[in-house]
Amino acid sequence: MYEQTFPHKRFKLTYQFLEKHISKSETILDLGVENPFTKILKDNSYNVENTKGEDLDFDVSSIKNSQATVVTAFEIFEHLLNPFTVLQSIKADKLVISVPLKLWFSSAYRSKSDPWDRHYHEFEDWQLDWLLEKTGWKIIDRQKWTNPTKKIGIRPILRWFTSRYYIIYAEKA
């Protein structure tokens, strides 16, 4: 997944945000398969289990059956057709979720070779806020950050000051 680029900045900021809100004594269900960020969490003494790669649009049994006190979803919801159902099925009282924000100067990401590597949603912040509110979550904290590139052009310049990622910490209302 990260053969060409490794998201150092995103992982660093995501970890700092998580560490601010979630203690290492809590158990985490991370939506999505094990990935490099899972390793970072485990290396820093977080107790993390991942879903197994099931299509969460159809099968939320791993979420419903989890005893975790926290659910995390880092760049997962943009791939789902129905994040509403996923959010409703969470039994944990705490949620940390990050999503890429919709960029007005760039169309939604779509891999032509990997059907799992496509964005159905690229949220505006208010859309994710509304989704969380409608599914019974209260946002406690939020943060945005940019994702600059070292390429030349108008869009790469815009990425230096246009927020690309949005992360929230929420609790059941």
Tens of each residue's pLDDT in the chain, 173 residues: 444 556 788 899 999 999 999 999 999 999 999 999 999 999 999 999 999 999 999 999 999 999 999 999 998 898 888 899 999 999 999 999 999 887 555 556 555 666 656 556 778 899 999 999 999 999 999 999 887 677 787 766 676 767 778 999 999 98
Model's pTM, two decimal places? 0.85
Strand 163-172: give its sheet, edge to edge: 47-50, 27-30, 70-74, 94-100, 163-172, 137-146
pLDDT reported for residue 67: 97
CA 13, CA 40: separation in Å to the nearest integer? 12
3-state secondary structure of 71: strand
Q: Which residues contact 104 (CB under 8 A, 6 or more apart)?
A: none
How many alpha carbons fall within 13 Å on the CB side of residue 162?
Answer: 15
Identity (one letter) of the amino acid at 20? Answer: K
Q: How many CB atoms lie within 10 A of CB 70?
A: 23
At 109 the pLDDT is 59
